[in-house]
Structures are given as C-alpha cells and as structure tokens.
A and B are shown apart, each in its own frame.
Chain A
Amino acid sequence: MNQNRNKLIDLFIGNISNAIIHKILENAIKDENIRLRYEKELTNSMEIALSYRHKINPVNIKLPEKDVNYIKGKIIKRVKAELKSRINKGYKGIELNSIEIIMERILKQTKVI
C-alpha cells in the first residue's frame, strides 16, 4: 500500500515537473502571440498530475510536511536538471529563479501545501 503511495507521489512529481518546465520554457519564448496560444498546453500535464493527486491520501487537505519536503526537493532537482541541459546547449532566456515561485503556486493548486 505504502509502496503504491510512493509510486503515485513519484508519478505526480513527474507531471508537475513537466508543467513547471513547460511554463518556464514558455516564458523564455519571446513571441507573445505564440506564448499565449500555447499556454493551454500546460493543462495536459496538470490534468494528469491532478488525477494522481486524487489518489494520494489525504486527498482534500495538504500533505504531511515529510511528503511536502520530499516532493519539493525532487521537483526542484528534476526541473533544474532538465533546464540546465538546455542552458548548457546554448538555450538563452531560461529563468531558473522562477522554478520555486511556479512550484509553490502549482502545489497550492493541487492541495499539496
């Protein structure tokens, strides 16, 4: 049961990370029209993340601090690694500083914090 919960949390982390990376890359694109048009794409990973969140207890209140710390740590590590792989290849305009702000907002939306 616990193993199943941990697996769900990891899947949740994967999708939230994808949503954060998407948001940051979107901000790095200068073309405003294109950016606005693709904002809705974010919903894909968010919808999947929410479907996992609904299976992680406690569902309707925030998660215990231990889980929150684990989730935050993993998300930051994952998102940073993904974005840095792009920066190292010459991708410009990626703001690593915004990871935590976006993460906090999304975790609130998904009732993790």
Chain B
Amino acid sequence: MEIIAKVSKGSKMDQIYLPKNRFGLNPGSYVLVKETIPRDEGRLIFHNVKKIEKIKIIIIKELFNALNKYNFDNIIVTGSFLDNGFNFNDIDIILIRDQNINISKIKDELKEMGIESHLILIDNQSLLKGISTDPLFQTMLSNYISKKRFIYNIKPEIKYKLLDLHLLKSELLVGNFDILTENQKLDLLRNLVSIYLFITEKQIVTKEEVCKKIRGMFDEDIFDKLKSNALNKKEFIKRYKLIYGKTFKMILRGIRNESK
C-alpha cells in the first residue's frame, strides 16, 4: 500500500498523519518514508519562439520524455522545426552533457518513434565556447525550445582560423548548386552571411539578423525563390561569390593580424 501524506509540524517532532480507515500500514509496522518527486508536467522553455503549431509541442514533449532517461543537463530543440509550417527535414536537437554517450543509439530510438533527428552532443563548456566563437551556433540558439532554462551572457570572440573552417563549408554551394536541395542551399547561404555579419558587426548574431541581411544582399523574395526553385542561378552565384570573396578576404586579413 502506498499513501501520499503531508508532513505536519509538531512541537517536539514532526509527524505524518495516516487515515484510520486504510488497508495495511498497521500500527507497529515499519514503513519507508520517502519524498515524492514532483511529476514532470512537461513545462517547456520558449526562447524567441512566438508562434508554433500545437502538434510540434506534443512532439517536443514526447521527445523530452523519451530522452529523460539519459539524464542530459539540458535538451534544446532548434532549427527549421520551429519555423512556421512543416518545411523541415529533421529536428535539430542539442543534447548537453559533460560525459560522452552513444548518440547513434539515441538517434535510432527516435527514428523508431518516427522522429528524424540531427543530434549534437556537446558539453556545457564547449557549448558556451561555441556560442562565443561560432556564428552558426549563435543563430541556432537565437530561438529554441528547451527543457530547462538556458541563460548565457557571453562576449563574442572572433577566431579567424575557425571562421575560415566554417566558411569553407559554404564554398560547396557554387560547384554543387544543381545537386543540393533547397534547404542545403539555404544552410550554406545562412552560414556565409552569418560569418560575414559576425566579422563586420563583431557581436552575437541572431537568425533574424541573418535573414534580414540575406534579403538586403540578394532580394526581398530570396527565401520564396529558393523554396520554389525560382532563382536566377547565374545572378545568384555571381552575388554569392562576391560576398564569399569579401568574407574570405576579411578572414585572411584577420589571420594575418592575429599572427603578428
């Protein structure tokens, strides 16, 4: 028999009152008194997510429930899953934990639930370092839904060699334009512009700022055109190369100054 009761304050000793009318727990028997763990009601922390479909909230709660047993310090859902509508390939999930864990097993488990995921396992320190040096992390974390509150107050730190590595990824867009999906193109474009913004503005970059800059650099309708495959390839590549070259030059200048 299990009873949930309240501890009452006594003058010399505190006590727990049990109803007379009960099965078991007879006077004189020994019982185990244990604190109840408050049930996880699935409260989510929203950061810069203004509107989201109810079904996505249900999925996130299911996801958090499934991942509970791994004792992550925090779980953060981010990326295009949080955008309006259903134009996403997978769910970007940042798993924060200091010890290593086999994430392919977790990925398979989520897949069995019907959830395609892109998992990033990272420890607290690397995450904070990532936010200060990596514009992609900054944009990823400019809006999210997490299990626990995640507060950071970090100064941006420009590491040009690292930005050079990140920028290299965006070089793939030009040569592989025809085989990349619209989402992949968008990722590489966002990567390029977030690096450009990070270097020029020297502050933490948000997803909204990057989108605004992309519209300014290319076209107001660039995102719609990308989604509907209505881009003027020649014109787009020409502008993209120009921004890429400009960003690369700034990085090389930074590396040279760093090594002086």
Q: Which residues of A contact B (CB under 8 A)?
A: 11, 14-15, 18, 21-22, 25-26, 28-29, 31, 33-34, 37-38, 41, 44-45, 48, 51, 85-86, 89-92
0/1 string, B167-182, CB within 8 A of A gives 1 = 0110110011001100
Chain A CB within 10 A, most for which of B165, B256, B259, B260: B165
Residues of B within 8 A of A21 (CB): 168
Interface size class of B (residues with CB under 8 A): 20 to 34
Known: A29-B165, A34-B162. A48 touches B172 (CB 8 A): yes
User: In whole angstroms, how far apart are the Cα atoms of A34 and B117 in the complex?
Assistant: 23
Known: A14-B175, A18-B172. A38 touches B165 (CB 8 A): yes
User: In whole angstroms, how far apart are the Cα atoms of A107 and B139 in the complex?
Assistant: 35
Q: Which 9 residue pairs of A and B lie closest in terms of their CB atoms, listed nearest first? A: A90-B256, A89-B252, A14-B175, A91-B255, A29-B161, A92-B259, A90-B259, A89-B256, A25-B165
Residues of B86-122 at the interface with A, using a CB-CB cut-off of 8 Å, are 122
B interface: dominant SS: helix
Whole-angstrom distance between the Cβ of B141 and the nearest chain A Cβ: 15
Q: Which residues of B contact A (CB under 8 A)?
A: 122, 125-126, 129-130, 133, 159, 161-162, 164-166, 168-169, 171-172, 175-176, 179-180, 252-253, 255-256, 259-260
User: In whole angstroms, how far apart are the Cα atoms of A33 and B122 in the complex?
Assistant: 11
Q: Closest residue of chain A to B257, judged by CB? A: A90
12 other contacts beyond A31-B159, A33-B129, A34-B162, with CB at 8 A cut-off? Answer: A18-B172, A26-B165, A29-B161, A37-B122, A37-B130, A48-B179, A51-B179, A90-B255, A90-B260, A91-B164, A91-B259, A92-B259
Whole-angstrom distance between the Cβ of B36 and the nearest chain A Cβ: 40
